[in-house]
Structure formats: C-alpha cells, structure tokens
Amino acid sequence: VNHLLGIKYLKESDIQLIFETADHFKEVLNRSIKKVPSLRDITIANIFFENSTRTRLSFELAEKRLSADVVNFSAGQSSVKKGETLIDTVNNILSMKVDMVVMRHPNPGAGIFLSNHVKSAIVNAGDGAHEHPTQALLDSYSIRERLGDVSGKNVLIVGDILHSRVALSNIFALKLQGAHVKVCGPKTLMPKYIESLGVTVEPNLRKALNWCDVANMLRIQNERLDISYFPTTREYTQQYGVNKALLDSLDKEIVIMHPGPINRGVEITSDVADSKQSIILDQVENGVAIRMAVIYLLASKIK
C-alpha cells in the first residue's frame, strides 16, 4: 500500500506529479465544477486527534469533490476516551470497508507507526512536531503559482522552527525543488541539527527579509512549548514580528506566507496578513486542489 507519511519519503518527480494533478483539479474548480466522479467507489475516514480548521475542512472538501464517501472522527467524542488504542480504533473503522485514512495526531511518527500496523493507505495530516506534508506541498504550489517556479528562489522561514512540522516539511520540499532556504528565529526555538538539513540560520530578521523572495511566517507552537524556552510574546514580536513599516522599508517587494492559524499582532500584523504581498488565502484555496491530487493519486493505486 502507498501512503503519504512525509515529504522526506518523496522524490522531486513525485512533487511535480502532485502539482500537475493539482493544476488539473484547480482548473476544474475554477470552472465552478464542484464535483468530479473520480472516486465514487472509495471511502475515506478523516481521523483527527488534534484540533484543525484548514486541514480538516480542506481534506473533507477535496474528498467530496472527488465524489468519495467520507466519515469524520474526532478523538474527543470517540471511544478513545474509554481507553481504546489507536490500532484498535483504526482497525474497527477499516472493518466498515474504509479504503483510506487521513490522520492528524499529536505524536511525531504516529502515521508511520499506523502504516506498519494496519492494512490501509495512510495520509499524514500533521503528526506532532514531525511532518505536515500536504501543508508543504500547498506552500510550494502557492510559491510556484505566484513566482512561476520554486527552483532558485530564496525562501525564509521565520519563527518556532523547533516545534514546527510545517518548517520541517517545507525544508524537505523546498530543498528537493532546488530553492535556497534560510531560517530565522530565537536560538531557543532553533533545532541544533538545523544546518544538517542544508539550510542557513540568519538571526537578524531585517537581513533575512532583504535576502528572501518569500517569507513564511510561523506561529509559536504554544501547545508544544516548554515555557522556559520562550522569550516573552512582546520580546518575540519586537525581534521576529513583521509589520507594514518593516515590510515597506525593505529593498524589494517580498511575498508573505503563513500556514495559519495566525496570531495577529504577534508574528505578523493585520496590515501585513491582509496586504497585496500576502498569499495566505491563496495557500488555503490551493490546499483543496493539492489534497484532491494527493488522494486521487493514492486512490489510483488501491482501486
């Protein structure tokens, strides 16, 4: 069975195939065709053990627009609360003739673990601080859409790199496509191994912004944070927050990205998030076409 567990397991040609497939679905959606019959005989379970707005809704929309049958599972309202294990939970769902599982889980490696224990295609919708592959795919797709190509572009990732699955998946995806990647953020939120991934650390935000074509502004992952690591929110915003005055004072016009949810006034101000330089809502829109492409390509291997 084939899975999407992380960008780490993909080749550059896999990413290009996903993008070409997403181009097709985006073109269909732009013609106001809300549904294609591709996956009429496929049933997908979205199982979420962590909160989500964008990922959960866009997976469900992507599945419905492919005409798949969809069931949704929230751990908080399930028998997980009575002590049922992850493997038992998923095997019970699969016994109801479910073909594919999309899972978000707080534990790094949860998708890999599950793929070793159940007979189903697994799509990782975010596993702790490990990977968020569909986010990285939609991020690169959005850069490609705005700037024509990802290869050769200077991409800056700002913020809590240590706890961010978005950062790790983006680094893998961007490097695979030939982008240059720098990271900027507090030393306490920077993994020690970061340079071994082929990225450069630039501690000075202004220098980093003047270098980049695209800045991907991350949220502080408060839910994964040991408070002793953290500068205060005010200190963080002073050193690593982007406001309109800073953006306008740069040598060139850069593209602003954010995976969401935004903490407005912390990592970016509203006048940056809502500016013409921001492609934040394009990222969300592209999430549906990218997830349609991922599910369609995986389903074609199990049909």
For position 89 contacting ligand CP by CB under 6 A, the verdict is: no
SS3 196: helix
Among 21, 55, 120, 142, binds ligand CP (CB under 6 A): 55
Among 261, 264, 265, 270, binds ligand CP (CB under 6 A): 261
- Residues 187-246 touching ligand CP, rule: CB under 6 A, are none
SS3 191: coil
- Residues 118-137 touching ligand CP, rule: CB under 6 A, are 126, 135
Report d(CA 269, CA 182) in Å as an integer. 22
**Residue 231 labelled as part of a binding site:** no
**Residue 132 labelled as part of a binding site:** yes
**Residue 219 labelled as part of a binding site:** yes
Query: Closer CB to ligand CP, residue 52 or residue 78?
Result: 52
Query: Closer CB to ligand CP, residue 25 or residue 48?
Result: 48
**Residue 65 labelled as part of a binding site:** no
Query: Closer CB to ligand CP, residue 42 or residue 257?
Result: 257
To ligand CP, the closest distance from the beta carbon of 261 in angstroms equals: 6
Query: Closer CB to ligand CP, residue 21 or residue 46?
Result: 46
Q: Which stretch binds ligand CP (CB under 6 A): 38-46, 173-181, 242-250, 255-263?
A: 255-263
For position 52 contacting ligand CP by CB under 6 A, the verdict is: yes
Q: Cα 298 vs. chain centroid, distance in angstroms? A: 18
Backbone φ and ψ for 223, nearest 5 degrees, come out as -70, -15
Report d(CA 195, CA 183) in Å as an integer. 10
Buried b (16+ CB within 10 A) or exposed e, 92-127: ebbeeebbbbbbbbeebebbbbbbeebebbbbbbbb
Q: Which two tokens stand for residue 282?
A: 């394009």
Among 2, 16, 30, 53, binds ligand CP (CB under 6 A): 53
Number of amino acids touching ligand CP (CB under 6 A): 10
Closest CA to 135 of 163, 159, 171: 171
For position 249 contacting ligand CP by CB under 6 A, the verdict is: no
Query: Closer CB to ligand CP, residue 53 or residue 188?
Result: 53
Report d(CA 20, CA 14) in Å as an integer. 10
Buried b (16+ CB within 10 A) or exposed e, 190-227: bbeebeeeebeebeebeebbebbbbbbbbbbbeebeee
For position 278 contacting ligand CP by CB under 6 A, the verdict is: no
**Contact yes or no for 200/36 (Cβ under 8 A):** no
Query: Closer CB to ligand CP, residue 118 or residue 294?
Result: 294
- The single-letter code of the amino acid at 10 is L
- Residues 135-174 touching ligand CP, rule: CB under 6 A, are 135
Angle formed by the axes of helices 165-176 and 12-30, to 10°? 100
Report d(CA 100, CA 72) in Å as an integer. 12
For position 259 contacting ligand CP by CB under 6 A, the verdict is: yes
Report d(CA 188, CA 266) in Å as an integer. 17
For position 54 contacting ligand CP by CB under 6 A, the verdict is: yes
To ligand CP, the closest distance from the beta carbon of 188 in angstroms equals: 23
Binding-site residues from annotation: 54-55, 82, 104, 132, 135, 165, 219, 260-261
Binding-site residues from annotation for L-aspartate: 82, 165, 219
Q: Which residues bind to ligand CP, rule: CB under 6 A? A: 52-56, 126, 135, 259-261
Binding-site residues from annotation for carbamoyl phosphate: 54-55, 104, 132, 135, 260-261
